[in-house]
Chains A and B, each alone.
Chain A
């Protein structure tokens, strides 16, 4: 249970505060409601590149990191399909330094040419390191455009291709900032050894004067229902074959989300899970196999990904997955097995609320989904998942016509 207070400034910035006296530190989280899905299809990877530029100095403060390090603070950021999130922690008594830094870069950036030039190459190296220079690294570059045909989830946050990053101009940067980095497009949460009224005063002082902007309604193309099975083969210099299967599912705010999460956990949570016991241990078809959901705001994917055991052919391995999928579609899950998953979910939630950083992030994310209070209702929502619903959704969703499969072949020596 996370207790908090919520307030909206006159410029639309939402502020959430959680007091935790058990720690000497404070965490500050600023979530901007902009992600890779908001990019132009010809300028992909931009939200993420922009996140890098947010550290290149702001209008009144030439260097973001140094003053923060000077007061004993640390920071980082991430970009997803849906959001761009910045977070920092510092000794609680120096919280105002965080307000000073974050409000200035919301006000305006320095827009330095040097920073753009350098961060373009840094991001290109990130592209190479994560997606091109490691085995199976390009899976998502291939799987997403197979599963999505029109929705922007068809590209990755890093971008469709390196040239999109190479071609980013300063005009693009400025336009992106103007459109998305607005107080009324952001949620600020603070958690830690702080006093709510003092945090609200600081928020008013540093963020209050920033002018509200025009927030455009998001109008993204809706992915039409998939009606035919999709398959793609690829070959790369990897040691073993692998299979990736993705089914379309609902978005994060849909009530069915919890049942889908339970389905993925039934498949692969822990060493007593179905896929591990049957396909890794008993049938020895895979050396490792996992199932997970993408958890995106718009309708996302339920994925099964497995590395095929040496000497097993791709078809046999795939048939093994199909058998487990069919079991879930045709037989009602034992109540005891469902209870195991629910207990797991309960424990995960308790563990996830151990630090102020995680609490600040969760509050902001749930506020974006509609109401920060949602963070305290998660346990109940998982507890209310029913065995009949698991079967019903599995039957409806885990069908071949809703599935995209990537066969990742190891190059023959």
Chain B
């Protein structure tokens, strides 16, 4: 019997060609665009109504987020309890996403119950009535959640960093305060809803087992509703960053500080965005990244540290975050800057870069597995006005980028002086 050499890694097979299933498109008679990803083995559906009615379009602070978050609180003919009951009975689930650039309403349902669950969603989208008694509870509970949430240093840091980068009065920079929940009026919600939701000014992304019957249900429910669909537009006003680039937000009695470092960036449409994703992965984007290897796996300062590119409207940020022991907060900051410097001064080895490439391609393969994953991939194109050629460029860039290009990018974008630094907790 041949002996097994366990030091010898099994032969690595070449990476499979990635075949990305693309969305099919149907436009209903009233102009409502449906994007369809029919795939998967389960009798399920995810239906996402994606709007551009975010903070960029709101007349006053919080109006956009509150309009979508409280959309299920009642309609002209259904109470909030009835809305929930009629969805819950069929095992369906409605989720709202109140992100500042692209809010969304999402329905998860078994395909066989769509004819029962979709009419409820239609009612919510067209006839939300924001009853004052329900709003009162919503306001109180939201305030409590906000105040509780900000007791966590990392949550507070994530909010404050946007203020530093965009400015306190920018739609992406202002920090929601508890009083905002009282200030927004029912009329503001109704007006905003009327302007953006009742007109179905959205894209509908349907994924899962999308049969002809499913399409017919959509035609029946939505095909003759009057719409006013505008071209997707998320033009973002220029940020007004803080002049104070290093801030400490003291919190007494904590054992860990939250660290946030971030710099202004661009959105996915910029030609450097994809190559920067590769640099980001090397730097702090996966378990084997420079930041994790040094700050967690060598020093043991933290449970986790990571970095990521976050597109927001037509802008974006590059952000690094971690929670670390108070006593090593300063040391961690020093190490983060040191890792930036190394990437600027020394090219990554071909070996390390190859690992990152394989890792990124492998994650991509997993990210396009299953109908909901395919929908996510399509939605992240729609949000930034991109098409599927973006992913071809992505794959090509990841496969071909060189250590020299990575180093050049680091020298352009990974400069200490471009980053804003925030510590929430203690800086001893």
Contacts and interface: CB of A to CB of B under 8 A. Distances in A.
Interface string A56-77: 0001110001110111111000
Interface in B267-302: 286-288, 296-302
B76 interface: no
B42 interface: yes
Interface in B350-372: 354-356, 358-359, 361-363, 365-366, 369-370, 372
Interface stretch (A16-24, A36-44, A173-181, A221-229): A16-24
Interface in B43-96: 43-44, 72, 80-81, 83-85, 87-93
Contacts of B141: 280, 287-288, 309
Contacts of B363: 72, 74
19 contacts: A71-B12, A72-B365, A73-B362, A91-B13, A118-B296, A118-B297, A118-B300, A121-B301, A125-B323, A125-B325, A136-B148, A239-B144, A240-B144, A240-B148, A287-B145, A309-B144, A336-B89, A353-B42, A354-B370
Could you say which of A269, A307, A351 has the most chain B C-beta atoms within 10 Å of its C-beta?
Answer: A351
A288 B365 contact: no
A346 B148 CA distance: 34
A277 interface: yes
Interface stretch (B169-177, B251-259, B339-347): B251-259
Contacts of B16: 24, 91, 93
A287 B140 contact: yes
Contacts of A220: none
A347 interface: yes
A127 to B, nearest CB: 9
B12 A119 contact: no
B108 A351 contact: yes
A135 to B, nearest CB: 4
Interface of B: 4, 6-7, 9-13, 15-16, 18, 39-44, 72, 80-81, 83-85, 87-93, 108-110, 134, 137, 140-141, 144-145, 147-148, 151-153, 253-256, 286-288, 296-303, 323-325, 354-356, 358-359, 361-363, 365-366, 369-370, 372
Interface in A191-218: 205-206, 209
Contact of A343 (B40, B89, B255, B302): B89
B124 to A, nearest CB: 12
Contacts of A205: 4
Contact of B148 (A135, A271, A343): A135
B253 to A, nearest CB: 6
Listed residue (B253, B286, B363, B369) with the most chain A CB atoms within 10 angstroms of its CB: B369
Interface in A86-135: 89-91, 93-94, 96-97, 99-100, 103-104, 107, 117-123, 125-126, 128-130, 132-135
Contacts of A128: 255-256, 325
B6 A239 contact: no
Interface of B is mostly: mixed
A347 B110 contact: yes
Interface in A276-307: 277, 280-281, 284, 287-288, 307
A277 B144 contact: no
Contacts of B301: 121, 125
A319 interface: no
Given A133-B256, A284-B140, A355-B370, A271 B362 contact: no
Contacts of B90: 343, 347
Contacts of A339: 89
A310 interface: yes
Contacts of B256: 125, 128-129, 133
Interface in A213-251: 237-240
Given A134-B151, A344-B88, A100 B358 contact: no
A280 B299 CA distance: 46
A135 B144 contact: no
Contact of A351 (B4, B42, B153): B42
A19 B108 CA distance: 26
Given A91-B16, A100-B10, A288-B141, A125 B324 contact: yes
A47 B302 CA distance: 20
A348 interface: yes
A270 interface: yes
Closest CB pairs A-B (n = 6): A72-B362, A347-B91, A121-B300, A271-B84, A272-B84, A96-B10
A118 B365 CA distance: 32
B6 A72 contact: no
A350 interface: yes
A347 B92 contact: yes
B6 A107 contact: yes
Contact of A134 (B92, B140, B152, B325): B152
B144 A307 contact: yes
B13 A94 contact: yes
Given A120-B300, A239-B147, A284-B140, 19 more contacts: A69-B356, A72-B361, A72-B363, A74-B366, A89-B362, A118-B298, A122-B300, A133-B254, A135-B148, A269-B88, A272-B81, A272-B85, A284-B137, A287-B141, A287-B145, A350-B110, A354-B42, A355-B370, A356-B369
Contacts of B110: 346-347, 350
Interface string A345-365: 111101101111000000000
Contacts of A269: 88
A270 B358 CA distance: 41
A279 to B, nearest CB: 11
B9 A97 contact: yes
A7 interface: no
A389 interface: no
**Which among A60, A65, A133, A287 has the greatest number of chain B C-beta atoms within 10 A?**
A133
A269 B84 CA distance: 10
Nearest to B356: A69
Nearest to B151: A135
B300 A91 contact: no
Given A128-B256, A135-B151, A281 B365 contact: no
Contact of B15 (A65, A91, A122, A134): A91
A386 interface: no
A89 B366 contact: yes
Contacts of B288: 65-66, 69
A72 B42 CA distance: 26
